[in-house]
Every structure is written in structure tokens, then in C-alpha cells.
Structure 1
């Protein structure tokens, strides 16, 4: 996927094919967003155009309101997901005062038409952009006819009578309702982070872990989880501890991932870790040996989950086919 950063990047791109584009933050890249992205990809194929995403490095609410909700997905994570779902070009803009002041008509003309060669603009449910959010399908219809592009609007996606939204997913994740989050995301909830050096305590216990800096993404409640991650394009099972290590009087919140039946160096690599099922809450043990025994039980319980499903890996239970079949699922996007 080609990633363009800032309006200046448009001067150096080749956009002769034109594009089918959508605009938005798409935090979480959930089922509603996925419906929009699938439509963008399908229409781009029909028109022999480039499926294109225009997104923002930060949440517009930081500028508009002075604060924004916690992120389900960092920019790096969103880029990875856009690529996974078929987007070929993403333009990343900083939502600053200049972008805030730009009218929807100017945004369409400057960014989408002159910049990217817009042929069709796809709106998600209740999607708006431009100054005072005046860029709606009905408001832009007159200039679409005049300037020669089409507008399409995708209906909302509802589960149990409620529109799928980033807000609803944040609530589910923070409450630890992984089933609800998975349904709204159409995949297991995941965190993308960089593997950093720890104090090697897991290795000393016989369960080496990849310690993750989670790029400031939202997290579920503390505890131990059956998990999965992606290494060299392959989904592999794992057991994840999210907590402060009370047995060792720890204070920092850590994400420690023990990858089953795998050895290697992951330091400084970005790793996407999927939370599959909560195994237990955070506990303080009398000593390291007691903790070691419990970790062995956690690994056994995680393996039992996959074994009872008739699988050696969690992939077919928790992941839809388009993720299982995507060999680029764990690779960098730019």
C-alpha cells in the first residue's frame, strides 16, 4: 500500500487512474468501516481506479473540542488494517487549523479532485467532513454533477438493533466483553505495539515473553488471556499477561506475550497481538515458583481452548477467512 503523508505528497504522486475514495478517521476499522472499505474496493475495481483512503494522523476532536476519546487503533495500526482490507493508497493528513477551516468544497477540489483524481466519493453512515462538517452527500451533489464525479453512501451496520460504532467498541473493550468487541470489529480485538526489552523475568521463569509498547491504544481489563499473534505472516497461539506484576511489586502496566512453540528475536519489531479469551484476573503469588506453576496452568488452559475446538491454532475459530488467508497480515505497510 502506498502511504502519502501531507498535502505536499500529492505533488509527487501518479494518479492517472483516478480513485474511489472515502474520508475519515476510522478508529478501530470496525464492521461499519469495513463495509465502506469493501464498497470502495469493489467500485474501484469496476472503474479500474485506485481504492483510496484519506485519514488523519490525530483525531479531529483534539482540535475541535480540545480532547478526544482513547484510541482503539493507532495510526500505524489503522494503516496496517487499511492495507489488509484492500486499500491501495492512503493519504494521511494532520488535522490542524488549516484543515479545520477548509470548506468541504475546497477539500474536494484541492485534495480529492486535483490531488488524487477523484472519480467516486463514498460516504459511510453519518459521515461528514469540511468546515463545520458541511460535507454531506446532499450538500456535495451539485458539485459532483458539475465536476464529474459520483457520490455513493453506505448504509449503517447494526448488531442487535444498535449501530456499530467506535464508541460502542471502546465500551466493550474496557468492560472486557471480548465477544461483543469481536462481533463489532469482525475480528478479535487486537493491539499493535513495538517489542521492547524487559528485565527477562519471564525467561528466568521458563516462559520467555515479548514485551509490547502498545502505541497508546485502549486496553481491556488486567489479567491473563488466551491470545494469538502474527509472525512472518503466520498466526501463532500465545498467552498474554496484561498487568503490573504484583508478585514482584511492579508499578508499570505491561503487556507480556508468551508465544507458544516459537523461538526467535522480535526486538524492535511491530507485533499485532489478538486478545481471544480471558483466562483469569491479575493475581499476586507468594513467590516465583508459585507464579511459575500458575503460568504453566494458564498455558495448559489456553491450549485446551484450542484443542476442544479441534484445532492446533486459534485461527479458524476466531478469525474470518480473509484474515486467515492473508499472508501479509503481519507485515509492515510502509
Structure 2
């Protein structure tokens, strides 16, 4: 899955990542943990994390995220790929920016899926992590058959001697901020709405591959990226920024099947403004700032190039304040 595997995002060295089998470091004894899938690390997730960090600082304890990889839905429904807002490397990078001291990444496999809620608490939260407090969202469920509810977690905390805080949903103009709502917005091209819920523009990282070089002949050389088929971003033209060597460059991107030419597999093609370097084989991060128009089929090359000129001008205007 190119979208996930090619992402360059990694957590900084000061942010510890613990995986199954890793010993808990002495510095992380008695942590306050925020627990969840955290796909997107959106504003709702950040509300949970912020409380965990605040409580940890008040108690003089470390603050950790407890999260799962792969996404549980990928385990239970492998034939129905899920559009990951933040594949694991990008998710860890986002988590590292929240004030957390680290993340415990639990492998979501058959053994974990079979573990009931009480065993999850006793074996992982208490036995492996020795938590002093758990902070979770109002809808977090865990354990076999999702048997562990927020109420169960409170009761388990009372039995095992750790505090529990459940965070209510974050509402945005009356609507709940959630990963599924963000995915639905992106599927309709509403990248501005998605950015508002995410707290930052939606980003995709992937390797630049060789295309048919057609854009170069048209005066618009593009960086071509093949994305994970699970990405359900709406096909169309977007105003974007592209990170190259730590510098953000403005550009315009097309995501779709290129109906004027071959109507092939979906591909992201990005024209980076005022940049002439060789990008083949490099992994770039593209951030989506504005939807410009849907993907269209043109009668000929002249009509297509004329529209590309308009798209570039519109993208520059949309990105004027970026």
C-alpha cells in the first residue's frame, strides 16, 4: 500500500515508540495513557490527548498514547480496505506533536482480537503498562466483541487501582468531529471542511513514479504518485502544497483517471509551481488546501491546456494566504 509504506513521516527521537515485546522504560513508569485508534489525530482525538497530557503533567507522570496497528477494521474485514487518514508513520508523527512523551503501538492480531475486555485491562493496561490513569473518548470500546465500554473501563479502573476519565465528543457547529465524517468529506472533495476537523490540511505521502511524460510535453511537468487503492478522495483538481527538502512549495494537483487520455487507474499528478528539480524516486508529502473543480474530459489538447492555465491561476489565488 503505497500511501502507507512510502510515507516519510517518522516520530522524532525524543518521542518513544514502544511495540509488543518492548520493555517499559523506567522513565515511563506509571503513565497516564490516552487510548484509541487515533486515525487522523484530528481535533477530537487531540481533545482526549490534551487531557491526558494535562493530567500527566499535574501528577508528574509520563503521558503515552496507546494505539493499534493495523487498524482493527483491516483485521476484521480485510476485503474492505479502509481509507487511512494517517498511515502508521504519519500517525506517529502527528502524535509526537501533541505533547505526548511516546506511544505504545499494540499489534492488532488474532491474539489481541481474542482477548476479552477484562484480560485487556489486566494483561496490557495493568500488567504491561502499569497505568496510573486512562483517558478515552466517549465511544471507545475494546476487547473481544467490543465488550469493554467506557463504563466497563471506569469499573475496571476502580478494581485495579487506576483513574479513568472519559472525554465527551467534540462538536463543530453541532456536528461530531470523527474520522468517518472526515473520510466522507474527503470523498466529496470538501478538503477545507476536512482540514477544519483535522486541525490541518489533509496530507498524502507517496513516492514519485515515472509516468508517461505527457505533462512535460504540455508545459506542465508533474510529479506522479500511485496511491493506496483504499484512498477515496474525490477525483478532481486541487490547490496543494508540496514539501520538498523541508520547504513547502505551492502547486496544483489532479487526482483521478485522466479521462482525456486513458481513463486508467487513479493517480495523483502534481505540478509544483516554480520548481525544476528532479523528483523521481523521492517520497513527497502533498497537502490539500482547496477543491477547484471535478475531473473533466476535454475534446482536445488545446482545450485541456487552456483549462490547466486557468486551474494554475485559481490554485495560486487559493494559496495566496497559505
User: TM-score, with normalisation over the residues of structure 1?
Assistant: 0.80
- Are the aligned partners of 2:236 and 2:291 in contact in 1 as well (CA < 8 Å)? yes
Q: Determine helix, strand or coil for the equivalent of 1:276.
A: strand
Sort the Cα spacing of 1:284 and 1:68 in 2 relative to 1 into closer, same or farther, 3 A. Answer: closer
User: TM-score, with normalisation over the residues of structure 2?
Assistant: 0.83
Which one of the candidate residues 19, 38, 56 is aligned to 2:68? 56
Counterparts of 1:43 and 1:232, CA distance in 2: 37
Counterparts of 2:99 and 2:208, CA distance in 1: 27
- Are the aligned partners of 2:73 and 2:82 in contact in 1 as well (CA < 8 Å)? no
Sort the Cα spacing of 1:24 and 1:302 in 2 relative to 1 into closer, same or farther, 3 A. Answer: same
Structure 2 residue 246 is matched with structure 1 residue 233: yes
Sort the Cα spacing of 1:207 and 1:257 in 2 relative to 1 into closer, same or farther, 3 A. Answer: same
Aligned equivalent of 1:45: 57
Aligned equivalent of 1:195: 208
Structure 2 gap segments, 5+ residues each: 1-14
Structure 2 residue 222 is matched with structure 1 residue 209: yes
Counterparts of 1:45 and 1:80, CA distance in 2: 21
Counterparts of 1:220 and 1:64, CA distance in 2: 23
RMSD over aligned Cα, in angstroms? Answer: 2.6
Aligned equivalent of 2:5: none
Displacement of 1:216:
4.2
Aligned equivalent of 2:115: 102
- Are the aligned partners of 1:17 and 1:48 in contact in 2 as well (CA < 8 Å)? no
Which one of the candidate residues 122, 137, 162 is aligned to 2:175? 162
Sort the Cα spacing of 1:263 and 1:66 in 2 relative to 1 into closer, same or farther, 3 A. Answer: closer
- Aligned residues between the structures: 306
- Are the aligned partners of 2:251 and 2:316 in contact in 1 as well (CA < 8 Å)? no
Counterparts of 1:84 and 1:135, CA distance in 2: 29
Structure 2 residue 307 is matched with structure 1 residue 304: no
Structure 2 residue 274 is matched with structure 1 residue 261: yes
Structure 1 gap segments, 5+ residues each: 315-334
Which one of the candidate residues 88, 93, 106 is aligned to 1:75? 88
Which one of the candidate residues 29, 42, 46 is aligned to 1:34? 46
Structure 2 residue 295 is matched with structure 1 residue 282: yes
